[in-house]
Amino acid sequence: MHNAYTAEEAYTKFMLIVTMALNHACPLKKVRTKKKVKNKHFVDNQASLLKENFLQKLLSYEKTNNEENKCNLAKAKKEYDMRLRKLRQEASASFINRAENKSKALWKIINDERQTKNVTKQTLKLEIDGQVEDNPYKIANHMNNFFTSIAERTLKNNPKPSVSPHTTLDTGHDLHNFQYTNQIEIQNIIKNLKQKTSAATDNISTKILKYCNGSLTIPLTSIINKSLSQGQFPSALKLAKVYPKHKKGSQTEIGNYRPISILPTFSKILEKVVLRRLLDHCEKFNLLTERQHGFTKGKSTTTALTDFADYIIDNLEEGKHVTSFFLDLSKAFDCLSHDLILYKLDKLGIKSTAITWFKSYLEDRKQIVEIKQSTNGVTAITRSRPLSVNRGVPQGSVLGPVLFILFTNDIPEHLDKFCTVSMYADDTTLLLSGHRDNLDVKSFTALNMAYQYCHSNDLVVNQDKTSQVAFGRRCEEVPSIPDVERNTQATYLGVIVDEGLTWSQHVDNLLSKLNSSLYVIKRTKCISNTSTAKIAYHSLFETHIRYGLMVWGGTSANNLQRVLILQKRAIRTLAELGYRESCREAFKTLKIMPIVNLYIKEVILYAAGQPLTQNRHLHDYNTRHSTRYQLPVHHLSLYEKKPSYMGMKLHNLLPEELRCFSGRRLKTSLTEWLINNPFYTLNEFIERRQ
């Protein structure tokens, strides 16, 4: 293998050796799956002895029918039931603790508990050319044809571009060759891969790869370095295996399925090596736009939501009208032209061997659809013919999302004269502000320029789902744009934004999710222990509260109380408290923060990380209030809901020993202080600290 000249040849020989070794060590066997015996793992020696004792007491009672034996029987049954319950709790806790996806594990246990009847899987049927087919081979091929032609069907109705796709972004800093990798880097990449059993057509999962890490590092390093130096991506790594996942609706309608793509595990390693070098190049020369919050270091949905809210509030404070357009891009990742991707990369300085590698990475990709069906315990696997994928970034890949954000990196530059753009991957929002007499012209121009950009870059805007929302007390004065739906609210990155920034609709939606999560916590507490139920709380309950809290946490006190009521119910379940018992001590004992404390922590840490003015920046005197922030003068009460303003205000009220901390020390100390001081309202915090 090491003597192979090309990366293609080296990888082919490598896979031949690995496959032979894998077949020898763990050959595939055909087995018939048996129905699992429920609760078999809940029995140990002690439980068996208690069961025998219970049966003996039962027999004695049936023979004598006296009161003493009846009492002994009840006692024996209680001991046996308690032992089974304890074993079941221990097994559930162990299963959840071992699981990587805690939420999925929790729901599996709960659904197993609720399931009373055996659910039989129906044979997959699909409507093809007006007839319902059950032939798995025909179904697989029909699905593959459908999935690989999504881009063509989506682009079919896209207007022809009026201008050529070009970008003025020209870095002047070129990346001709990728830096070689080494064994340490490859070992660390493999070590950090999620351990999964799913595998592509080569049947090598990350679980197997991690187990063989030491043996495969040297050959993988050699192959990857050949790939980087020659600009060649092995063709065996370009074949994707696709599972059709039913979304909703009729199972015979092909439009109700979405493709789940699995790429070879070795492809992920090579892609991670290239990704690191690509991002290093972009970060070194500051090539990435500040408006993109997706798949970018130091950015997240939270930063996107914060920038979005700040823009609206700042412009309303200046007395301007504010409106936004939420663009809906159809199949954005699937429609991109490979030639355009390479063109954009070239403009970002990716040249010579590096651009040749990306060309090899994108071209000649294929995919198959695999269908699994079980009959009488035997699972049959059917695969379609491979078909070419000529557009888009590879689904399920490491590089795909980053290639997309680099592709759309020039959108802000294209629209900066007309509006402010906020992006998270393909979620694109146009923000505009101004006076009533010119805002309609600005909006119309900005929207049409955005459409023009999309048409020129193979991005399809679904105008039926694109919407406009105006903000502020005078939002009715903001003119509407023809052919664009005008709404009073919109969902942006999972948060419902309303025209008055009251966040009430978002809280309504949140409460529905929390009620569902509360049920899981209660069931988990019954079938497991407190520590496992606490895992359920953090993974299914608190995560919903924390998401976007920095932005929507400035809602009314009444809305926060509505969330706190459900949070208290969860705490009472965990701490086994009565309906009227106080939860304050339980919050401290369980080391869980009320929603108000979570909000205080979020905004204070956000403010502490911003370049905001403190008293010590205004003079050189070491005063008692030197670590306090200077609060900006403002006119609107809405301005006080800004995360930065609220963070400064609440930071000023912290104990003096906390105010002098920064960075990780502030986060650790603040968390500990808030856990020991649970607050139920912001006014309670403010009054106690003044």
Q: What is the tens place of the pLDDT at every residue in 1-20? A: 778 889 999 999 999 999 99
Mean pLDDT over the full length of the chain: 91
Pairwise CA distance, residues 475 & 324, whole Å: 11
Last residue of a domain, one of 82, 107, 130: 82
Per DSSP, the residues of 95-147 read HHHH-SSHHHHHHHHHHHHH--SPPPPPPP-EEETTEEE--HHHHHHHHHHHH
What's the confidence (pLDDT) of residue 116? Answer: 46
Q: pLDDT at residue 262 above 90?
A: yes
Last residue of a domain, one of 397, 421, 451: 397
Asked if residue 132 belongs to a domain, the reply is: no
Tell me the sheet residues that pair with 242.
261, 369
417 and 347 together in one domain: no
Percent of the chain scored above 90 by pLDDT? 73
Lowest mean pLDDT across 99-103, 163-167, 588-592: 163-167
280 and 180 together in one domain: yes
What's the confidence (pLDDT) of residue 422? Answer: 97
Nearest to 124 by CA among 26, 269, 220, 256: 256
Pairwise CA distance, residues 293 & 308, whole Å: 11
Span 276-308, pLDDT tens digits: 999 999 999 999 999 999 999 999 999 999 999
Q: Are strands 131-133 and 467-471 parallel, antiparallel or unpaired?
A: unpaired
Residue 89: partners with Cβ closer than 8 Å, 6 or more residues away: 527, 528, 529, 532
Q: What angle do CA 214, 216, 221 make, to 5 degrees?
A: 110
Band of residue 379 on the pLDDT scale cut at 50, 70, 90:
confident
Cβ(326)–Cβ(469) below 8 Å: yes
Q: pLDDT at residue 376 above 80?
A: no
Last residue of a domain, one of 437, 463, 493: 493
367 and 478 together in one domain: no
Span 66-114, pLDDT tens digits: 888 899 999 999 999 898 888 888 888 888 888 878 878 888 887 776 6
Q: Are strands 365-375 and 239-246 parallel, antiparallel or unpaired?
A: parallel
What's the confidence (pLDDT) of residue 118? Answer: 47
475 and 526 together in one domain: no
Nearest to 142 by CA among 161, 127, 164, 123: 127
What's the confidence (pLDDT) of residue 3? Answer: 82
Domain range holding 271? 164-290+334-397
Residue 24: partners with Cβ closer than 8 Å, 6 or more residues away: none
508 and 462 together in one domain: no
What's the confidence (pLDDT) of residue 180? Answer: 98
Nearest to 314 by CA among 24, 644, 535, 626: 644
Cβ(545)–Cβ(563) below 8 Å: yes
338 and 465 together in one domain: no
What's the confidence (pLDDT) of residue 106? Answer: 82
The backbone region for 129, taken as left when phi is positive above 0, alpha when psi lies in -120 to 50, beta otherwise, is: left
Pairwise CA distance, residues 216 & 267, whole Å: 14
Q: Which residue has the higher pLDDT, 213 or 598?
A: 598
- Long-range pairs for 479-482: beta carbons < 8 A, 24 or more residues apart: 479/436, 479/439, 479/440, 479/443, 481/325, 481/440, 481/443, 481/444, 481/447
Q: What angle do CA 601, 550, 612 make, to 5 degrees?
A: 75
Q: Which range, 115-124, 625-634, 636-645, is most confident?
A: 636-645
Asked if residue 7 belongs to a domain, the reply is: no
What's the confidence (pLDDT) of residue 582? Answer: 95
Mean pLDDT throughout 363-386? Answer: 89
Residue type, 410: D
Mean pLDDT throughout 528-555? Answer: 94
Q: pLDDT at residue 162 above 90?
A: no
What's the confidence (pLDDT) of residue 489? Answer: 96
Q: pLDDT at residue 436 above 90?
A: no
325 and 338 together in one domain: no
pTM for this structure?
0.90
Q: In the chain, how many domains are there?
A: 4
Asked if residue 51 belongs to a domain, the reply is: yes
Span 110-127, pLDDT tens digits: 777 665 444 455 678 999
Asked if residue 91 belongs to a domain, the reply is: no
DSSP 538: I
Tell me the sheet residues that pair with 47.
none
CB atoms within 10 A of CB 681: 14
Pairwise CA distance, residues 265 & 270, whole Å: 9
435: CATH:
3.30.70
CA distances 342 to 338, 361, 406, Å, are: 6, 11, 10
Span 334-345, pLDDT tens digits: 999 999 999 999
416 and 540 together in one domain: no
Asked if residue 412 belongs to a domain, the reply is: yes
Q: pLDDT at residue 35 above 70?
A: no
Cβ(639)–Cβ(313) below 8 Å: yes
Q: Any idea how long the chain is?
A: 690
Pairwise CA distance, residues 651 & 647, whole Å: 6
Q: pLDDT at residue 38 above 60?
A: no
458 and 393 together in one domain: no
526 and 661 together in one domain: yes
Span 676-687, pLDDT tens digits: 999 999 999 999
183 and 72 together in one domain: no
Q: pLDDT at residue 375 above 80?
A: no
Cβ(196)–Cβ(207) below 8 Å: yes
Give the up-direction half-sphere exposure of residue 581: CA atoms within 13 A in the CB hemisphere.
Answer: 12
Asked if residue 212 belongs to a domain, the reply is: yes
Pairwise CA distance, residues 314 & 318, whole Å: 7
Band of residue 623 on the pLDDT scale cut at 50, 70, 90:
low
Mean pLDDT throughout 465-470? Answer: 96
459 and 562 together in one domain: no
Span 442-457, pLDDT tens digits: 999 999 999 999 999 9
Asked if residue 139 belongs to a domain, the reply is: no
Lowest mean pLDDT across 168-177, 261-270, 518-527: 168-177
Asked if residue 534 belongs to a domain, the reply is: yes
